[in-house]
Structure 1
Amino acid sequence: MAHAREPSMHYLSLTFCCRLNTKASFSAYKGSMIRGTFGTHLKKTCCTTRERDCAQCMLKSVCTYPSLFIGKPARGEGRYDSLTLPFCFETCDTGKTEYEGGERFVFGVKLFSYATSYVPYFAHAFVLAGKHGMGRKSDVCPGTFELQDIVCDETSIYDRERQKVIMPAPENLVLPALDENAGGTQRVRVHLVTPCRFKEGNKLSADLPFRMLFQLVVRRLRSLWALDGESVHYENFRDMIALAESVRTVESGLFWKDWTRYSSRQNTYMQLGGLQGSIVYEGRIAPFLPFLAMAEKLHLGKQSSFGLGEVHFVLDSGL
Structure 2
Amino acid sequence: MSKYSQYLKERQWKAVRLRFQFQARSSIRFPPFSGSMLRGVFGRALRSVSCLTKAKDCKGCLLRTNCPYSRLFEPQLTDSIDSAKFSAVPPGYVFEPHSWGAEILNPGDKFVFDMVLFGNAIDLIPLVIYSLQRGLDRGIGHGDAALVAVYQLKDEELKKIYTEESEEVLEFDRTVSLKKTFNPSCAVRLLTPLRVQRDGKILNSSELTANDFFSALLRRIDLICRTHDKPIEIPYDLLLEETAKVKMAKSLEFRDWVRYSSRQKNKMNLPGLVGEIRFDDLSESLFRCLELAEFFHFGKNTAFGLGRIEIVES
TM-score class, shorter-chain normalisation, is 0.7 to 0.9
Quote the Cα distance in structure 2 between the aligned partners of 1:75 and 1:161. Answer: 42
Q: In structure 1, what residue type is equivalent to 2:238?
A: D
Q: In structure 2, what residue type is equivalent to 1:133?
A: G
For residue 167 of structure 1, report the CA deviation from its aligned partner: 4.5
1:262 to 260, 263, 279: 260
Quote the Cα distance in structure 1 between the aligned partners of 2:220 and 2:102. Answer: 30
Quote the Cα distance in structure 2 between the aligned partners of 1:41 and 1:149. Answer: 18
Give the structure with higher Rg (CA). 1
2:78 to 74, 80, 93: 74
Residue 179 of structure 1 corresponds to which residue in structure 2?
none
Residue 112 of structure 1 corresponds to which residue in structure 2?
118
1:56 to 60, 81, 87: 60
Q: In structure 1, what residue type is equivalent to 2:110?
A: R
TM-score (norm 2): 0.84
**Aligned 8 A contact 2:259 2:267 in 1:** yes
Residue 144 of structure 1 corresponds to which residue in structure 2?
144
**Aligned 8 A contact 1:75 1:228 in 2:** no
1:246 aligned onto 2:233? no
Q: Which runs of 5+ in 1 are unaligned?
A: 138-142, 177-181
**Aligned 8 A contact 2:20 2:114 in 1:** yes
How many aligned residue pairs are there?
A: 294
Percent identity between matched residues is: 27
**Aligned 8 A contact 2:33 2:102 in 1:** no
Q: In structure 1, what residue type is equivalent to 2:125?
A: V
- The runs of 4+ residues in structure 1 deviating greater than 6 Å are none
Mean Cα deviation higher: 84-93 or 151-160:
151-160
For residue 173 of structure 1, report the CA deviation from its aligned partner: 5.8
Output one character per residue of 1:191-224: Cα deviation in whole Å (capped at 9) or x when no partner: 1100111211332211332232222221111110
TM-score (norm 1): 0.83
For residue 126 of structure 1, report the CA deviation from its aligned partner: 1.7
Output one character per residue of 1:222-271: Cα deviation in whole Å (capped at 9) or x when no partner: 1101114744445x132332222222223x22111122212222333322
Query: What's the Cα RMSD here?
Result: 2.7
Change beyond 3 A, Cα 1:226–1:173: farther
Quote the Cα distance in structure 1 between the aligned partners of 2:259 and 2:282. Answer: 39
Mean Cα deviation higher: 37-46 or 156-165:
156-165
SS at match of 2:19: strand
Quote the Cα distance in structure 2 between the aligned partners of 1:48 and 1:266. Answer: 24
Quote the Cα distance in structure 2 between the aligned partners of 1:7 and 1:61. Answer: 28
For residue 146 of structure 1, report the CA deviation from its aligned partner: 0.9
Residue 271 of structure 1 corresponds to which residue in structure 2?
269
For residue 169 of structure 1, report the CA deviation from its aligned partner: 3.5
SS at match of 2:59: helix
Quote the Cα distance in structure 2 between the aligned partners of 1:123 and 1:101. Answer: 22
